Amino acid sequence: MDLPQSVRLVEVGPRDGLQNEKQPISIADKVRLVDDLTAAGLRYIEVGSFVSPKWVPQMAGSAEVFAGIQRQPGVTYAALTPNLKGFEAALEAGVEEVAVFAAASEAFSQKNINCSIGESLQRFAPLMEAAKASNVRVRGYVSCVLGCPYDGEIAPAQVASVARELHAMGCYEVSLGDTIGTGTAGKTRTLFEVVARDVPRERLAGHFHDTYGQALANIYASLLEGISVFDSSVAGLGGCPYAKGATGNVASEDVLYLLQGLGIDTGIDMDKLIAAGQRICEVLGKANGSRVARARLSR
């Protein structure tokens, strides 16, 4: 299969990248990050999450962030909404697109959201109906597609079953997430081969964590399978709380470098992306998680 001519990166740094940070991050800094990412040419940015502050304190100001960003035409500013209440809050904040999430592992689903996979999908039904009535698109996430911290190996057929349900419910795109970063290129290709029997490849995306240093290899394997949408996080922000020492999300800069080397268009400016990542890392007082950014900044 030929490589895609263009790829869309879904920037999850402002949400998935920041949600586990312990230190307070100001609304102004979050707004600046989103605006910097917009200026770098990202066309899809997950800005925040409308969940209970009790569970994810860092996302408590998502409505204020949406109110403060400088929205640009052609850019999707999305939010994670786990239930109808969250969707309604997102709609009030002017969110254009939302995302829902389910797990491919029963144990992970129970420990993460205290219900079975089937129950989690049922909870989305009223949200999906409300989104359709409001003409809001919904994107779906499936976690633990290449391994679970509790169940170990996950059968591709199980992932396909969950992805099929999300797609049938109305998710226009389903992102398959290697939550603990244990996937390898061969298993990634097999996964997409199996899932694509139920959900068209053009409706699938990849979300890879770099815990074992395999994220870029898995992205290349996905490209070979015709996948052209990938989630990534500027400066590699975010970690996986379920795997000790996990590096978390693959860095957007590193993915962009791979794609540029393959001659695949993204419309993203590398220098501006690196600057955006470095600025938020300085705010957080942490090292930049992108190998490409570190190499460029050290020259």
What are the residues facing 249 on neighbouring strands?
209
Task: Report d(CA 270, CA 260) in Å as an integer.
Answer: 10
Contact 147, 103 (CB under 8 A): no
Q: How many CB atoms lie within 10 A of CB 184?
A: 16
Q: Is 1 exposed, middle or buried (0-12, 13-18, 19+ CB in 10 A)?
A: exposed
Amino acid at the residue 136: V
**Which DSSP letter does residue 17 get?**
I
Task: Report d(CA 65, CA 27) in Å as an integer.
Answer: 6
Catalytic residue among 144, 148, 171, 240: 240
The token duo for 116 is 């079975």
- Classified as helix, coil or strand, 47 is strand
- Classified as helix, coil or strand, 118 is helix
Assess whether 240 carries a catalytic annotation.
Answer: yes
- Classified as helix, coil or strand, 71 is coil
Contact 138, 98 (CB under 8 A): yes
Task: Please identify every residue annotated as catalytic.
Answer: 240
